[in-house]
């Protein structure tokens, strides 16, 4: 596989040859520690066919057992000591990463979950702080050296925790871990606050939580650009019902224009919107999952991440509950998973690296923002003369087309729920540079309006991803 790098304009990722990379990720946090070998194959084959290109995984995650045992029951560490890693555990992590490369996935890899640094979980429990200022650099160096030959790894520190939390500042620990990684990966230690071209090559971000008290949820919420080890921005718009991730993306692009940004943990399918769970209506459906995706992408995000409440934790039959109503393998075939395949088709048809946000073209852009489902998001490709507008609900809009289209324009409605494309009879006349149009009625509330000068550019072909790669000899075993 080719290594990825950040584009010259700082907006998205490209391969070594300069071709744009489509980032569509799945939150596979627990796969290295929870799935046995044949399940790993089944998981990756399925996600490949659904169009995913990136898997977000964690090396050390204590959420399900503090000893961090792998599927064979082997603890990750001897004597719960970070500097005494068990070779059998990490050999299996290596094997999982080998399979990811085999299937063509890039992996956003977390050396450890944030819980191991801060020593507490979201349920109020506390435990030993495994990763400290005394051992973080050595662990990072060891892990980096182990991974230095891999071309499909991007790095993520943090893990659903802020670097400053509960009155303690853990930034020195994370900086030390970053410096250790740099030494292991490059052979020489980089200083966290000294600019160096190798920092950009390592491609490291930070996974913050969505801080309830402040609403902060960005990589740069507690870091600054002086932290040279950070090269791209992750948002966690989170699982609340009323998050405006398009504003979060817009703010990061404005404040940090040379850093790519994406929503790396948005609303997961079937994740609760409220804690504690109130009733059956407290869970995210596919509509909110789609909204977060199209809002973010059309507001300038370089890609998107999908999650499911049963997949991120690889829930088994015995672990089914109100939140994990399906096993992980059942949830792989969820409605939202299929709609991510449709999103990949859309991203292939309209490579969003070539589009820029253009909210100023929407007359209703700043009105009725208190009604979140009325928000529309627009982006344009001036060179190809294409305009995309995501409508979250059936409504009418006036669009300023001056400078993009002349007297007429071709139009169609794309449905993110089922991938259908409904052409608007035309071409449509553009009167004084203004187009008045209403969303096409359908069973799904949301639509993407596609406007193009060339009618041949209005098409979203259904792609085939991973065709012919499935090994029929691989068994899928979900009980072990």
Q: Over the stretch 22-45, which tens digit does the pLDDT of each residue have?
A: 999 999 999 999 999 999 999 999
- pLDDT band at residue 467 under the 50/70/90 scheme: low
Cα dihedral: 185, 186, 189, 190 (round 10): -100
Separation in Å, CA 142 to CA 68, 139, 179, 197, 384: 18, 5, 12, 22, 48
Peptide linkage before 427 cis (omega within 30 of 0) = yes
pTM: 0.96
Look at residue 197 and tell me whether its pLDDT is greater than 70. Answer: yes
Residue 122 burial by CB count (10 A; 0-12/13-18/19+): exposed, middle or buried? Answer: exposed
Q: What are phi and psi of 337, to 5 degrees?
A: -60, -45
Q: Write the CA distances from 190 to 143, 194, 216, integer angstroms.
A: 16, 7, 28
User: Residue 430 has what pLDDT?
Assistant: 86
Q: Report the alpha-carbon distance of residue 28 to residue 291 in Å, rounded.
A: 21
Name the percent of the chain lying above pLDDT 70.
95
Domain 4-354 in this protein, CATH class: alpha beta
Confidence band for 480, pLDDT divided at 50, 70 and 90: very low
The predicted structure's pLDDT at residue 388: 98
pLDDT value at position 366?
A: 47
* Third-level CATH fold of 356-457: Immunoglobulin-like (2.60.40)
14, 218, 353, 365 from 10: Cα distances, Å:
10, 17, 11, 26
| pLDDT tens digits along 141-174 | 999 999 999 999 999 999 999 999 999 999 999 9
For residues 112-138, give the mean pLDDT.
Answer: 94
pLDDT at 446: 93
The pLDDT of residue 174:
98
Residue 365 confidence (pLDDT): 60
Using CA atoms, how far residue 50 sits from 44, 235, 237, 391, 399, in Å, is: 10, 24, 24, 24, 34
Task: Write out the residue limits of the CATH 3.20.20.80 domain(s) in the chain.
Answer: 4-354
pLDDT at 477: 58
Q: What is the pLDDT of residue 227?
A: 98
Q: What is the pLDDT of residue 395?
A: 84
Structure tokens, 278: 């109130």
Question: Could you tell me the pLDDT band of residue 372, with boundaries at 50, 70 and 90?
Answer: confident
Q: What integer pLDDT is reported at residue 426 of this predicted model? A: 79
Residue range 179-208: mean pLDDT, rounded: 97
**Residue 470 binned pLDDT confidence (cut-offs 50, 70, 90):** low
Cα–Cα distance between 99 and 97 in angstroms, integer? 5
Q: How many Cβ atoms from other residues are within 10 Å of residue 98's Cβ?
A: 11
If you average pLDDT over every residue of the chain, what do you get?
A: 93
pLDDT tens column, 289-320? 999 999 999 999 999 999 999 999 999 999 99
Alpha-carbon distance 281 to 28, whole Å? 26
Token pair 């995984």 is at which residue?
57
Q: Is the pLDDT of residue 472 over 70?
A: no
Tell me what percent of the residues of the chain surpass a pLDDT of 90.
82
How does pLDDT run across 226-266, given as a tens digit for each residue?
A: 999 999 999 999 888 888 999 999 999 999 999 999 999 99
d(CA 250, CA 245): 8
* Helices assigned H by DSSP within 60-123: 87-102, 115-118
Q: CA dihedral defined by 385, 386, 389, 395, rounded to 10 degrees?
A: 80
Task: Specify the range with the lowest mean pLDDT, choosing from 9-18, 26-35, 84-93, 418-427.
Answer: 418-427
At 87 the pLDDT is 98
């Amino acid at each position: 596989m080719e290594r990825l790098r950040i584009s010259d304009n700082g907006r998205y990722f490209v391969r070594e040859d300069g071709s744009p990379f489509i980032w569509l990720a799945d939150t596979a946090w627990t796969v290295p520690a929870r799935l046995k070998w044949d399940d790993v194959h089944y998981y990756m084959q399925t996600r490949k066919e659904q169009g995913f290109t990136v898997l977000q995984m964690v090396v050390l995650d204590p959420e399900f057992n503090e000893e961090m045992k792998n599927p064979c029951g082997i603890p990750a560490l001897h004597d719960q000591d970070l500097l005494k890693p068990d070779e059998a555990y990490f050999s299996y992590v290596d094997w999982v990463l080998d399979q990811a490369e085999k299937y063509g996935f890039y992996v956003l890899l977390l050396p450890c979950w944030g819980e191991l640094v801060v020593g507490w979980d979201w349920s109020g429990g506390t435990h030993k702080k495994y990763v400290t200022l005394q051992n973080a650099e050595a662990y990072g160096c060891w892990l980096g050296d182990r991974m230095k030959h891999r071309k499909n790894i991007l790095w993520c520190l943090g893990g659903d925790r802020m670097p400053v939390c509960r009155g303690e500042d853990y930034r020195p620990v994370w900086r030390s871990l970053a410096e250790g990684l740099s030494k292991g990966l490059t052979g020489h230690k980089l200083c966290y606050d000294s600019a160096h071209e190798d920092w950009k090559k390592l491609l490291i971000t930070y996974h913050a939580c969505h801080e309830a008290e402040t609403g902060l949820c960005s990589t740069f919420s507690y870091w600054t650009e002086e932290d040279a080890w950070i090269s791209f921005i992750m948002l966690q718009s989170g699982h609340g019902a009323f998050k405006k991730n398009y504003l979060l993306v817009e703010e990061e692009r404005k404040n940090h224009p040379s850093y790519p940004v994406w929503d790396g943990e948005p609303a997961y399918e079937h994740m609760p919107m409220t804690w504690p769970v109130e009733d059956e209506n407290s869970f995210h459906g596919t509509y909110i999952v789609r909204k977060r995706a199209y809002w973010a992408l059309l507001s300038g995000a370089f890609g998107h991440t999908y999650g499911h409440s049963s997949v991120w934790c690889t829930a088994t039959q015995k672990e089914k509950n109100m939140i994990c109503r399906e096993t992980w393998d059942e949830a792989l075939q969820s409605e939202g998973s299929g709609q991510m395949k449709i999103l990949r088709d859309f991203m292939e048809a309209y490579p969003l690296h070539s589009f820029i946000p253009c909210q100023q073209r929407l007359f209703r852009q700043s009105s009725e923002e208190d009604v979140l489902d009325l928000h529309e998001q627009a982006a344009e490709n001036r060179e190809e003369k294409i305009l995309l507008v995501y409508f979250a609900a059936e409504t009418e809009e006036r669009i300023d087309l001056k400078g993009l289209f002349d007297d007429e324009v071709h139009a169609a409605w794309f449905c993110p729920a089922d991938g259908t494309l409904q052409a608007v009879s035309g071409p449509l006349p553009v009167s004084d540079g203004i187009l008045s149009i209403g969303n096409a009625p359908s069973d799904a509330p949301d639509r993407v309006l596609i406007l193009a000068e060339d009618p041949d550019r209005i098409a979203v072909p259904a792609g085939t991803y991973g065709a012919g790669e499935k090994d029929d000899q691989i068994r899928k075993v979900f009980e072990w």
